[in-house]
Chains A and B, each alone.
Chain A
Amino acid sequence: MTGRKVLTGFEITADSHTLAAYRARGGYEALARALETMQPEDVTQEIVDSGIQGRGGAAFPAGRKWQGIDPHDGQPHYLIANADEGEPGTFKDRWVLEHDPHALLESMLLGSYALGVRHAFVYIRGEYDRPWRRLDAAVEEAYAEGLFGENILGSGFSCDLFVFRGAGAYVCGEASSLLGSIEGTRAWPRNRPPRMTVRGLYQAPTVVNNVETIASVAWIIRNGAQAFREIGTEKSPGTRLISISGHIRYPGVYEVELGYSWTKFLHEDCGGLLCNKALKAVIPGGISSQVLTGMDAKVLTPGEVEGMTLDHEVLRAAGSSLGSGGMIVIAAGTCMVRLLQIMLRFYRHESCGQCTPCREGTGWMHRIIDRIVAGDGRPEDIGTLYHIARFNDGTTICGLGDAAGYAAIAMLDNFRDEFDHYIEHGHSKFGGNLECQ
């Protein structure tokens, strides 16, 4: 058991995603109560007090983001749930969309009420078909019962929801890029400032929250900020949905109370590694979070790994992050050069092309690692990879190019001998293995 639950505390059945089932477990009661007894500011205050941090990757306090909007300033405001889940290794929001879409919808309504939003959006990645069908059906159910539209539950509050489907662009998960996508232009990230809560969608104040973050709002309003704070740790309250994959016996989505033991999670809850191999490395929060090595780490001594807990502070101190909650487990015997090749191919493919350092840098890094894997690596290649990765950092509008560099640096720092071996001998130290054998 991975601790107390906020999002997954119900049994999945053939119809547990429907409105009737959601109501039977107390769904939409928080909305009714909030519309009747709370002012918009009270809802925001509750989110501030809960201490919930964003679950999309940056872990920014969600309440503070909401406080960036004055619900009474007379302008239109927008709320967008970011369901453009594309960070490799991440499939947790898909769980919410498929199994509890109404938790997201009720939370969107609460957020829209708090922020003075008349038109809200869910931006869902283009490839997600079943999650979209589930979400779309839930939206229609909610409209049919007057939970969206004019004068919701007789409160005078009105709100429409548009489910916007992407079309295959990782960069749209970056919140400002997503705005361009909705506006019908190329989805190029935008410089900040101005923050999106000042100038966002259609130039109006906008909040973009990750699905998991916003979907927790209904629980927080129903149970209170205090109850939320009692879960997790003081600095990282609540739970995280961890989607775990790679060389692990029981991959899947687990709701983990923040502060939970990492060793216990890997070896008990997830059944340990495939093929009874030793742990070589873990990418803790999607490939844009820095890889951490297993037992032979520079950053983590074996004792520290044993005692390590899953929360934002601990991961940050270890030089990585919980990121998007996409955990990839890598067993001993895996070729890290080939893994980095796949990662760099991904960043090159997904660079939107707007900023030169990212557009060119991701291409250069990918071509260099391709050359190494082909057996034609040169001694200076490692230095060049470091140089490009470091040069990228902070020179682009969004974090995509930075992330590509961080991924490369973390892999080179931790597994330098494998790269040196590949270049010197023209072949992999581990036979190019990616699978657990």
Chain B
Amino acid sequence: MKHLIPEFERMKRRLPPGHDATLLLPCLRRIQEDRGYIAGDDIDGLVAYLGVPRIQVEEVLSFYGMLRREPIGRWHLQVCHNVSCSMRGAERLLDHLSGRLGIQPGETTPDRRFTLSTVECLGSCGTAPVVMVNEAYHENLDAADLDALLERLD
């Protein structure tokens, strides 16, 4: 994480002084964006950089659904299965995806290309169903759209 410190310092400029722990979540997010997950040495680095107890970093890490301690597949497919998406076909979409990839939600394909997850409401109810592929929302999907999308993900 050390190479990210100049970025963290820039973030600090818009924060009130004396509240460095506020950077904890932004730093964790940035580290994960950079290396794909948060490793033990990242936690050591944050403890030293922010001056927060290690237990605090662990507590924050384990609290948020988007943060992870292990690497996942290259493409993270997150299918929303909350109310509005389910009313527009999300459950069929999830079955289709699971069948095509040969994995269940929570699993990664053996070639580490895809990880499949379910996720709760993404705020895309008017364009349901939605699948989040890494950071990007893909909305108003049906099985054919999804197949075409999978072809584009190497």
A interface list, Cβ under 8 A from B = 76, 85-91, 94, 118-119, 125-130, 160-162, 164-170, 181-187, 202, 243-247, 251-253, 283, 287, 326, 328, 330, 334, 338-339, 342-343, 346, 349-350, 352, 434-436
- Beyond the given A90-B125, A127-B119, could you list 19 further A-B residue pairs with CB under 8 A, ordered by the A residue number? A94-B123, A160-B15, A161-B14, A164-B25, A165-B29, A167-B29, A168-B66, A184-B52, A185-B56, A185-B59, A186-B63, A187-B63, A245-B87, A246-B84, A328-B125, A342-B82, A350-B120, A434-B86, A436-B87
A165 lies within 8 A of B137 (CB): no
CA distance A252 to B120 in the complex (A): 19
Q: How large is the interface on B (under 10, 10 to 19, 20 to 34, 35 or more residues)?
A: 35 or more
B126 lies within 8 A of A88 (CB): no
| 10 residue pairs, one from A and one from B, having the closest CB atoms | A184-B21, A168-B65, A245-B125, A167-B64, A168-B66, A184-B24, A251-B126, A88-B121, A245-B84, A91-B123
> Which segment, of B101-109, B127-135, B145-153, faces chain A?
B127-135
10 contacts between A and B (CB under 8 A): A88-B82, A119-B16, A129-B137, A130-B136, A184-B60, A245-B128, A251-B127, A328-B83, A328-B87, A435-B88
The residue from B50, B65, B87, B89 contacting A330, defined by CB atoms under 8 A apart: B87
Q: Which residues of A contact B67 (CB under 8 A)?
A: 167-168
The residue from B11, B23, B65 contacting A167, defined by CB atoms under 8 A apart: B65
Q: Which residues of A contact B132 (CB under 8 A)?
A: 127
Contact of B98 with A by CB under 8 A: no
Contact of B71 with A by CB under 8 A: no
CA distance A253 to B81 in the complex (A): 21
- Identify the closest chain B residue to A171 (Cβ): B63
Q: Which residues of A contact B86 (CB under 8 A)?
A: 338-339, 342, 434-435
Known contacts A91-B123, A125-B123, A252-B126; A184 and B83 CB within 8 A of each other: no
The residue from A161, A169, A243, A436 contacting B126, defined by CB atoms under 8 A apart: A243
B59 lies within 8 A of A326 (CB): no
A334 lies within 8 A of B126 (CB): no
The residue from B21, B26, B89 contacting A435, defined by CB atoms under 8 A apart: B89
B19 lies within 8 A of A183 (CB): yes
CA distance A352 to B59 in the complex (A): 12
CA distance A162 to B15 in the complex (A): 7
The residue from B29, B50, B121 contacting A126, defined by CB atoms under 8 A apart: B29
